[in-house]
Homo-oligomer: A and B are copies of this chain.
Amino acid sequence: MVYVLQIDFKMEGPFGDEMADSFAELARSINQEEGFRWKIWTENPEANEAGGIYIFETKETAEQYLDMHTNRLAEFGITDVRAKIFSINSKLTEITNGPIN
């Protein structure tokens, strides 16, 4: 049973290619986190928002990552963070082709 972590927050940028250059190394390090499966990086330059959708192998590893990442975001000056951890309804997700495996 995998878990979804969804995070979003206000951010002044960078977005797009500049964001990609700034955070490529961070992205590679996320691949090494315990229980981590994948992350979709979300951004909305018009609304000055960004975030991520993650899949973790367990609730505990999702919670662990969220604690660590919340502290890291605070170091970047980002404190208005909204985060939620959900389990997945596998049967419905299978019908709608959700890529959780």
Contacts and interface: CB of A to CB of B under 8 A. Distances in A.
**For the complex formed by this chain, how many copies does it contain in all?**
2
A22 to B, nearest CB: 9
A86 B20 CA distance: 16
Contact of A93 (B37, B41, B88): B41
A39 B84 contact: no
A100 to B, nearest CB: 6
Interface size for chain A: under 10, 10 to 19, 20 to 34, or 35 or more residues? 35 or more
B20 A87 contact: no
Contacts of A8: 6, 84, 86
Contact of A41 (B6, B38, B92): B92
Given A53-B53, A89-B16, A89-B20, A95 B43 contact: no
Interface of A: 4, 6, 8, 15-17, 19-20, 23-24, 27-28, 30-31, 37-44, 49-51, 53, 84-89, 91-93, 95-100
